[in-house]
Each structure stands twice: as structure tokens, then as C-alpha cells.
């Protein structure tokens, strides 16, 4: 059974831990570099990316996170976590850094004030035939991706139809929405499988 960490600086940590356990993983909270060393994979939860970045910096986790991701640790970021995994962001606060790893440009709070929060059907590649019922909360979207990035999902309907909201690059994945909130844990299953396969390969 792989051990999957949940970055526990800020955000909806408990919901992700529950979803991962439903998906058959063992979970631990990660706040310190030595805790990061012991996990087979990591979830970066939703929350507020500016706060998460500041806390990661003061807990001296930014560099260790970058190093483990470069070394091939699987990671999955949801919403603010997606922002943290982006190589480039738009609409960040002055000086805002990310961990990076996914060759994409992500725009913060992209869907605009009139739709602070909304739900949409999103078909997800490799996660079954039924579209995912996705919950977006002050969500980012992906503006552009490099060649190595596989698009797993786009918003299907409404004014935001076509927007990229789920991606994968090798062992890294990210969604603009919050699959930990709906009781449909296909995304967590997918990630837990990825971590399991990685521990077998390495
Ligand atoms: N708007 C938040 C940010 O920029 C993300 C929102 C979320 O994670 N639900 O970090």
C-alpha cells in the first residue's frame, strides 16, 4: 500500500486524505521536509495559493518539493494545488512563486467574479465513461500547455466550454476543480494507481 502525503500547510487537507483512503492509500500529513522524504506521492490541496506559497517558503519546503518532483515523485494538485504545480502563472500576487513541474501556464481566479463557484460536467480521459461532476471554487484554468502535457479534461458546456481543467505530465497531474468534495473519487483512484505503479517501477 503506497503512502501518499497531503501537503498540510493550508487548505482542504482532511477531504483529500479521506478521498485517498477511499482509494486504498495510506495517508500522512506533510508539513516538514523530513515528512516529505517518507511519502511515495503527494497531494497539494485546494485552498489559497498565495498563502500556500508563503507557508511553503517559511517552512522551507519549496526547494525540497522541487527536488522530489524533479526526482520523479508523483504529485497531484487540485485548484490552488494546480497553481502550485504550474511552471508559469498569471494573476499571481507580486513575487508569487510555484513549485512547478507541469509545463503549463495557469491563470488564477480565471472564471471571473460572476461565477465564483460553479459546477460543470467534465469528461475525463482514462477515468470511465461518465463525465465527472466537477465543482469549481474561485478556480484557475489552464491557458496553455507544452508538448509533454496530456489534456485529461475540458469544461464541456456553458460560457467556459473548451477550457482546459485537468492535465497530466508524466507522474504529475492537476485539476482546476475539487474532486475531494463530491464523493466521486475517480481522480483519487487514478492518482493512487499512478503512485502504486511508480513504487513498483522505482
Ligand atoms: N483562488 C485560489 C488561489 O488562487 C484557489 C481556489 C481554490 O483552491 N479553491 O489560490
46 alpha carbon to ligand 1 midpoint, in Å? 6
Is 182 inside a domain boundary? yes
What is the total count of domains within the chain? 1
Is 129 inside a domain boundary? no
Domain with 54, as residue range(s), is 3-109+140-152+164-201
**Substitution candidate for ligand 1 out of 49, 85, 107 with most atoms within 8 A of CB:** 49
Is 176 inside a domain boundary? yes
- Interface predicted TM-score (ipTM): 0.95
The model's pLDDT over 89-147, given as tens digits with 9 standing for 90+, comes to 999 999 999 999 999 999 999 987 656 788 889 999 999 999 999 999 999 999 999 99
Cell of residue 54, nine digits: 508563503
Helix (H) or strand (E) holding 190, with range, is: helix 186-201
Instruction: Give pLDDT, residue 115.
Output: 62
Whether 178 sits among the annotated catalytic residues: the reply is: yes
Is 127 inside a domain boundary? no
Distance CA 120, CA 133 (A): 6
Residues 6+ apart with CB under 8 A from 201: none
Q: Is 28 exposed, middle or buried (0-12, 13-18, 19+ CB in 10 A)?
A: middle
The model's pLDDT over 162-173, given as tens digits with 9 standing for 90+, comes to 999 999 999 999
The CB density around residue 161, as the number of other CB atoms within 10 Å, is 10
3-state secondary structure of 37: helix
> Can you give the CATH number for the domain in which 66 is found?
3.40.50.880
Amino acid at each position: 500500500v503506497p503512502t501518499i502525503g497531503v501537503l498540510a500547510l493550508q487548505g482542504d487537507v482532511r477531504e483529500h486524505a479521506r478521498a485517498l483512503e477511499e482509494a486504498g492509500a495510506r495517508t500522512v500529513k506533510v508539513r516538514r521536509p523530513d515528512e516529505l522524504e517518507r511519502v511515495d506521492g503527494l497531494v497539494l490541496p485546494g485552498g489559497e495559493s498565495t498563502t500556500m506559497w508563503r507557508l511553503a517558503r517559511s517552512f522551507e519546503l519549496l526547494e525540497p518539493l522541487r527536488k522530489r518532483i524533479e526526482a520523479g515523485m508523483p504529485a497531484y494538485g487540485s485548484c490552488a494545488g494546480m497553481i502550485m504545480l504550474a511552471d508559469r502563472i498569471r494573476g499571481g500576487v507580486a513575487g508569487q512563486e510555484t513549485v512547478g513541474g507541469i509545463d503549463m501556464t495557469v491563470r488564477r481566479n480565471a472564471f471571473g467574479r460572476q461565477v465564483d463557484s460553479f459546477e460543470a460536467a467534465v469528461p475525463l480521459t482514462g477515468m470511465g465513461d461518465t463525465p465527472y461532476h466537477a465543482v469549481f471554487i474561485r478556480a484557475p484554468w489552464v491557458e496553455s500547455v507544452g508538448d509533454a502535457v496530456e489534456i485529461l479534461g475540458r469544461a464541456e458546456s456553458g460560457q467556459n466550454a473548451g477550457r482546459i481543467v485537468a492535465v497530466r505530465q508524466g507522474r504529475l497531474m492537476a485539476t482546476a476543480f475539487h474532486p475531494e468534495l463530491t464523493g466521486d473519487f475517480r481522480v483519487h483512484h487514478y492518482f493512487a494507481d499512478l503512485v502504486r505503479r511508480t513504487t513498483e517501477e522505482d
